[in-house]
Structure 1
Amino acid sequence: MASCAASQTSFLLQRSASSSYAPASSSLFLAARSSSPLPSLHLSSASTASFPLRAAEGRKGECGSMACAASSTELVVEKPVETREQPVITKEEGLMLFEDMVLGRSFEDMCAQMYYRGKMFGFVHLYNGQEAVSTGFIKYLKEGDYVCSTYRDHVHALSKGVSARAVMSELFGKATGVCRGQGGSMHMFSKEHGLLGGFAFIGEGIPVALGAAFKTKYEKEVLKNDKADAVTVAFFGDGTCNNGQFFECLNMAALWKLPIIFVVENNLWAIGMSHYRSTSDPEIWKKGPAFGMPGVHVDGMDVLKVREVALESIARARRGEGPTLVECETYRFRGHSLADPDELRKPAEKAHYAARDPIVALKNYLLEHKLADEAELKSIQKKIDDLVEDAVDFADASPLPPRSQLLENVFADPKGFGIGPDGKYRCEDPSFTAGTAQV
Structure 2
Amino acid sequence: MEIPAEEAPVTGPVDALTPRQRRRAIAAATLGNGLEFYDFITYAFFAIQIGNTFFPSESPFLSLMGSLAAFGAGFITRPLGAAVLGTYADRHGRKPAMLVSMTMMGVGILLLALTPGYATIGYAAPVIAVLARLIQGFALGGEVGSATIYMMESSTPQRRGFTMSFQGASQAVAATIGSLVGLMLSLVMSEAELASYGWRIALLLGATIVPLALVIRHSLPETIHHADTAVVADDGWRSYLRPIVCGFLIIASGTIGSYIFTYMATYGQNTLKLSTTISFSGSVANNAIQIVAVMTGAILSDRFGRKAAMVLPQCLFALSVVPCFLWLTTQRDAFSFIGANLVLAGIGSFVYGAVYAAISESIPKAVRARVFALVYSIPVAVFGGTTQMVVTWILEVTGDPMSIAYYLTGVSLVGLGAMIAMRESAPVRIGTLVASPA
TM-score tier (shorter): under 0.3
Structure (1 or 2) with the larger CA radius of gyration: 1
Structure 1-normalised TM-score?
A: 0.26
Between structures 1 and 2, the one with greater helix share: 2
Structure 2-normalised TM-score?
A: 0.26
**Larger relative contact order (C-alpha < 8 A, sep ≥ 6)?**
2
Between structures 1 and 2, the one with greater strand share: 1
